[in-house]
Amino acid sequence: MDSKKYRFETLQIHAGLQPDEPTGARGVAIYPTAAYRFKNCDHAARLFELSEGGNIYTRLQNPTTTAYEQRIAALYGAVGALAVSSGMSAILIAVLSLAAEGDNIVASPFLYGGTYNQFRTSLRRLGIDCRIAPSERPEDFEALIDGRTKALYAESMGNPTCAVPDLEALGSLARRRDVPLIVDNTFGAAGYLCNPFEWGASIVVDSATKWINGHGTAMGGVIVDGGSYNWANGKFPQIDGPSEGYHGLNFHEAFGPAAFIVKCRVDGLRDLGCCPSPFDSYLMMIGLETLSLRVKHQVESTWKLAEYCRSHPKVERVSFVGFDTHPSHENARKYYRYGSSAVFTVELKGTLESTVRFVESLRLAANMTMIGDSITVVTHPASTTHKQLSDADLAAAGVTPTLLRISLGLENADDLIEDFEQAFSQIG
């Protein structure tokens, strides 16, 4: 289908669907196969030298996953997408496709804890320096850029503080300094709430486990290539130069605007092996069909629960980008549909112990490390997602002992308010 003609709600259902002529089946088929028969040896050779597209091995490509990737690309208006086994592997492949030993990336201070550890620990062991800017102001990013900087990195909404950067300003900086801007758009819900490509991002990564799947039934991540970056600027010989793994093939010359996403597939997936199961890709496709409906309901419920928490005497403060008291309120209004997401944080009055007691008293809301699920999740970041950070890093990320991150599910908001009320009654 011509995705340019249709709006998000239509694309989330129709993009990637190819009618099955022999059976007339409406849905996407699940192909539980590891390998594929070649027509002949010449056909196999063309596939392996990348002169012809097609299926070789499910580590690289699978028909179910291809349909899912096409849908994601259509939702973002991108040249291509790559599905991987988790959000963390999406980040890793994206960065390793750009940076090598001696290179660096410049990142926002408001990062998911797992991303922070990957950048500061795992990438450092590979000789890649991750420079954390002191703020998300473009001038603080720019002060850390040098001739070996291969990317700028930010989250469209920080986890767990919900800080929203000035994406347009970061995009302008990236263009002026001629480096790609990578945006983790997990909170942007596959482009429905926020599409960073509209503001200057070159690459988007998502944890598809969250709002894309929407039901907590599968792990996955995606890398999305906007197709707008000029890879022939001399900074990326691994893309616009002879490839060691493909007999000197130049990805930029061979694949044009899709050069980056092709490299992520044929080098990243080939070497790291973090491919998704076709069963998980199918579950992602099913989740996408209702994404806009789910997210709209979740955002509406977030407003109700956040208002309740703001007026509760046992709550010290509520941090919700929908409120004009949030420092990112204006950016959220600019970059996010509805001016918010389905996540907010609260700091309770009291101590670490009373905060833990509140969480453990909840009956509907689940104590898990998850967002974007069909059930409401309350997470204590200091004990979970950010547990590995030092006290100084916790303070810089805005994580305190009484901070809770709340991700709204699909329940009735009034039932959630009643659940919170009974939990508050347990902490005196």
Residue 79: helix, strand or coil by DSSP? coil
Question: Per-residue pLDDT for 134 more than 90?
Answer: yes
**DSSP one-letter string for 345-414:** EEEESS-HHHHHHHHHH-SSSEESS-SS-SS-EEE-GGGTTTTTS-HHHHHHHT--TTEEEEE--SS-HH
Query: Residue 2's pLDDT is what?
Result: 62
Task: Look up residue 57 and give its DSSP letter.
Answer: B
- Domains within the chain, CATH numbers bracketed: 3-287 (3.40.640.10), 291-427 (3.90.1150.10)
Residues 6+ apart with CB under 8 A from 157: 163, 164, 187, 188, 194, 321, 328, 332, 336, 341, 343
- The percentage of the chain sitting over the pLDDT mark of 70, rounded to a whole number, equals 99
pLDDT in tens, 27-59: 999 999 999 999 999 999 999 999 999 999 999
Question: Per-residue pLDDT for 385 more than 80?
Answer: no
Query: Residue 1's pLDDT is what?
Result: 61
C-alpha distances (whole Å) from 284 to each of 20, 278, 321, 331, 408 are 20, 10, 27, 29, 19
Query: Residue 387's pLDDT is what?
Result: 76
Residues in the chain, overall count: 428
pLDDT in tens, 183-204: 999 999 999 999 999 999 999 9
C-alpha distances (whole Å) from 268 to each of 184, 211, 238 are 18, 24, 12
Q: Report the chain's mean pLDDT, rounded to a whole number.
A: 95
pLDDT in tens, 209-246: 999 999 999 999 999 999 999 999 999 999 999 999 99
Query: Residue 226's pLDDT is what?
Result: 98
Q: Which two tokens stand for residue 362?
A: 């909840």
State the average pLDDT over residues 117-144. Answer: 97
Distance between CA 153 and CA 385 in Å, rounded? 19
Reported confidence tier of residue 354, pLDDT bands at 50, 70, 90? very high
Beta bridge partners of 193: none
Reported confidence tier of residue 284, pLDDT bands at 50, 70, 90? very high
- The percentage of the chain sitting over the pLDDT mark of 90, rounded to a whole number, equals 89
Q: Is 181 in contact with 174 (CB distance < 8 Å)?
A: yes
| pTM exceeds 0.75 | yes
State the average pLDDT over residues 301-310. Answer: 98
Reported confidence tier of residue 396, pLDDT bands at 50, 70, 90? confident
**Amino acid found at 63:** P
Question: Per-residue pLDDT for 3 more than 60?
Answer: no
| N-to-C CA span, the chain | 59
pLDDT in tens, 62-111: 999 999 999 999 999 999 999 999 999 999 999 999 999 999 999 999 99
Distance between CA 134 and CA 38 in Å, rounded? 53
Reported confidence tier of residue 19, pLDDT bands at 50, 70, 90? confident
